[in-house]
A = this chain, B = another copy of it.
Amino acid sequence: ALAAPALAQANPEVRWRFQSSFPRNLDVLFGTAERIASRVAALTDNRFRISVFPAGEIVPGLQVLDAVQAGTIEAGHTASYWYIGKEPGFAFFTCMPFGLNTRQLTAWLRHGGGNQLGDQLFADYSIQAFPAGDTGAQMGGWFRNEIRSQQDVQGLKFRISGLAGQVFQRMGAAPTLIAPADIYPALERGTIDATEFTGPHDDERLGFFRVARFYYAPGWFEPAARLHMMTNKRAYDALPDAYKAAIQVACAEADSEMTSRYDHLNPIALRRLVAAGAQLRFFPREMMQAAWTANEALMADLAGQNPRFRALWDSYRPYRNELFQWFRVSENSYDNFAFPAAAAAAR
């Protein structure tokens, strides 16, 4: 193929506004949007400039999708599962309880049909979205009291995002969704008994360990948590091809980069939290089994009520089961030998 002639109009000056759903102090989350903008600038000789705004600067953090849809901002960095009130299928693109882990979710999105199904869903909101960052498997959250059995979940006032709130409701808990800035006072006053957020690095910044010392694993309700760069479809479609490619590739880079930053920062943050008095605990197996059963029933109900949810679940569920089986053979059999072996050798 011959090179395209270097037309002046092939590299127009473009400026976009890109709002995050996160505040600046959550540096990895907010920083992911900044890194995408900076990479796009570098790739376009600074001709495509994307200004990044923190939550609330243009619209509230949980209204980013609406603002992108309306064209108030050209793009937003947010989690699709905050919009399950519009459409429960949005959950699949962030995380599912007992769902795919981070690497597996990437495979489903890119190669298992996930992104195509996502494109159809987002298009109904005039949005073209790109996966752009994942936290890795999250922690199960901060609890004022220990969870010794499934009984301790009864009536538990738990701040939690996504479909998992409905799982906890079926288990007898009283789930609630509170904006990040309001969680700490609610936990301190006892308005809530427990909260999940992400993992040690972010959780430490939000200070939960000072008012709820039991720190639970695993975060079976968020075994991955994928963010998206949501772009207004008309704005995106109007871009020159090279600028579209710049967004695509910057998001693909950010997708693994956010995870690797958390993987780097979480271990040392967990050490500091434990040194400051956090008590590490694991959810009782009985409670996890009850959660599994409640989740299966919830999925069946949602699939029965909503054809789009059913189409997504019919794609996601067999893919999950197939990848879980393969990962048991390879990754998991390695991890289960090597992780304890290194701990024993380090003693």
Residues of A near any B CB (own CB < 8 A): 1, 3-4, 6, 8, 10-11, 13, 39, 42-47, 49, 98, 101-104, 106-107, 110-112, 136-139, 199, 217-220, 223, 241-242, 245-246, 249-250, 252-253, 255-257, 259-261, 263-268, 270, 280, 282, 285, 288-289, 292, 296, 320-343, 345-346
Answer whether A332 and B328 are a contact pair too, CB < 8 Å, given A102-B103, A103-B102, A107-B264: no
Q: How far is the CA of A43 from the CA of B241 in the complex (A)?
A: 8
**Min CB distance, A308 to chain B, in Å?**
23
**Contact between B332 and A263 (Cβ–Cβ < 8 Å)?**
no
**Contact between A218 and B321 (Cβ–Cβ < 8 Å)?**
no
Within the complex, which residue of B137, B138, B245 is in contact with A43, where a contact is CB–CB below 8 Å? B245
**Contact between B245 and A256 (Cβ–Cβ < 8 Å)?**
no
What B residues does A343 contact at CB under 8 A?
321, 324-325, 328
**Contact between A338 and B223 (Cβ–Cβ < 8 Å)?**
yes
**Contact between B257 and A110 (Cβ–Cβ < 8 Å)?**
yes
**A139: nearest chain-B partner, CB-CB:** B330
**Contact between B342 and A199 (Cβ–Cβ < 8 Å)?**
no
**Min CB distance, A292 to chain B, in Å?**
5
Answer whether A39 and B245 are a contact pair too, CB < 8 Å, given A252-B252, A260-B106, A292-B341: yes
**A280: nearest chain-B partner, CB-CB:** B329
**Contact between B339 and A328 (Cβ–Cβ < 8 Å)?**
yes
Most B-side CB within 10 Å, residue of A107, A223, A296, A322: A107
**Min CB distance, A246 to chain B, in Å?**
6
**Min CB distance, A313 to chain B, in Å?**
14
**A7: nearest chain-B partner, CB-CB:** B45
Q: How far is the CA of A136 from the CA of B101 in the complex (A)?
A: 14
**Min CB distance, A268 to chain B, in Å?**
8
**Contact between A110 and B260 (Cβ–Cβ < 8 Å)?**
yes
Q: How far is the CA of A98 from the CA of B344 in the complex (A)?
A: 13
**Contact between A10 and B330 (Cβ–Cβ < 8 Å)?**
no
**Contact between B270 and A331 (Cβ–Cβ < 8 Å)?**
no
What B residues does A217 contact at CB under 8 A?
329-330, 333-334
Most B-side CB within 10 Å, residue of A45, A220, A292: A45
Q: How far is the CA of A37 from the CA of B256 in the complex (A)?
A: 20
- Nearest 10 Cβ contacts at the A-B interface: A111-B264, A218-B334, A267-B326, A107-B263, A252-B253, A42-B245, A256-B256, A218-B333, A324-B339, A106-B260
Q: How far is the CA of A337 from the CA of B287 in the complex (A)?
A: 12
**Contact between B257 and A253 (Cβ–Cβ < 8 Å)?**
no
Answer whether A330 and B138 are a contact pair too, CB < 8 Å, given A103-B103, A322-B267: yes
**Contact between A253 and B249 (Cβ–Cβ < 8 Å)?**
yes
Instruction: Enumerate 5 A-B pairs (CB-CB under 8 Å) in ascending A order.
Output: A101-B335, A199-B330, A253-B253, A267-B325, A332-B332
**A341: nearest chain-B partner, CB-CB:** B292
**Min CB distance, A310 to chain B, in Å?**
18
Answer whether A246 and B43 are a contact pair too, CB < 8 Å, given A327-B335, A335-B101: yes
**A269: nearest chain-B partner, CB-CB:** B326
**A1: nearest chain-B partner, CB-CB:** B46
